[in-house]
Amino acid sequence: MGQGGGSPAQPLHGLTVIEIGHSVAGPYVGQVCADLGATVIKVENPRGGDDARSWGPPFWENSSAVFQTLNRNKFSVALDLKSVEDCATLAGLAGQADVVIQNMRPGLVEALEIGADTLRALNPALIYCNLGAFGNVGPLRNHTGYDPLVQAFSGIMSVTGEAGRPPVRVGPSIIDMGSGLWCVVGILAALVRRAQTGEGCTVDTSLYETGVAWMNIPLANSMASGRDAGRSGSETPMLVPYRAFHASDRYLVIAAGNDNLFRRLCEVVGRPEWATDDRFRTNAERVANRSELNALIEAEIGTRTADAWTDALSAVGVPCAPLQSATEVIAHPQTDALGMLQPTPDGTMQLVASPLRFDGERPQVRWAAPALGADNDRVPDLVAAKATRTTEGASR
């Protein structure tokens, strides 16, 4: 396993990862590994590369902003996987690699003879990660899938949005990126096992498995109650008050999740009697009288600005936060203080950083996403020069 490369923020330094990935899910696995210091070789079709390169506007440096943020700190090798020679090149790379990630359509890597069984036979220490749509067993195993399809099919859309209105998807690609994170968890666990046994492993997950896993609480509630949860907007079904209320200028989320916090909320809004009202004394009673209580709170919150309520509620420890837009998040001093936006070395772009720190040090954006096939001539170096990997890209 990696020895850190002299930097605590690059704990995967020394590992070689082959990413046969496209769109969001597979590249997100590679992005996390690359941010953590692994050498990630992105294998792309020479005819246009990853589809996400063209997912714009907006564009940065001739690639979409989506592609740039998912593919920084990587190397690009263009290989035609319909070519026997190029598949042999890929097999050669995998023979010296630590990890292979793939999110190709079902059955394709096996048909091309670059699947887990083939490549692990060449390299028994290899960790091979399959990221599918619906998993490799069951009636839907050969179906393709995308984030919004699986948000619908896993039930996430059934609990997202407001009752009586059309379904909506969660804005960020939580299925794609969540599946990517489960891949990283599986890969890291397999690396620990390999360090103990010397043996590689095949790691499998899918978009659908991730969607079902994210639905763990709604599914548990449905199994316990025998009823569908339904959509509840910004609200949490089991807690009241726990939702967005409209202040005089914008929305404010208030999460008074227990009786003590509710009592403090009542005092701040000038309605201490609510805390002893038989309809609202306990959370169970507040849930039963949800609509009535929410209307009372909304009327009070609407009398002042979100900032004024945030100051007053925070002063007594009631959790709350105003709804921020993307541009407000970018400009907020907390975002800046954490260093969550990092410029590329040439200063042309600013990307969202990894949400991890190691001994206080955050993984850095070392270089922007590569041009298609930019590293074809460097393939031998990429798999051989492990000792110098932390300095790779300084001249990119």
**Catalytic center residues:** 176
Q: Identify the CA nearest to 316 among candidates 239, 274, 254, 244.
A: 254
Residue with tokens 């792309």: 44
- The 10 Å Cβ neighbour count of residue 321 is 15
Q: What is the 3-state secondary structure (H, E, C) of the chain?
A: CCCCCCCCCCCCCCCEEEEECCCCHHHHHHHHHHHCCCEEEEEECCCCCCHHHHCCCCEECCEEHHHHHHCCCCEEEECCCCCHHHHHHHHHHHHHCCEEEECCCCCHHHHCCCCHHHHHHHCCCCEEEEEECCCCCCCCCCCCCCHHHHHHHCCHHHCCCCCCCCCCCCCCCHHHHHHHHHHHHHHHHHHHHHHHHCCCEEEEEEHHHHHHHHCHHHHHHHHHHCCCCCCCCCCCCCCCCEEEEECCCCEEEEECCCHHHHHHHHHHCCCHHHHHCCCCCCHHHHHHCHHHHHHHHHHHHCCCCHHHHHHHHHHCCCCEEECCCHHHHHHCHHHHHHCCEEECCCCCCEEECCCCCECCECCCCCCCCCCCCCCHHHHHHHHHCHHHHHHCCCCC
Beta strand 350-352 with 341-343 is antiparallel
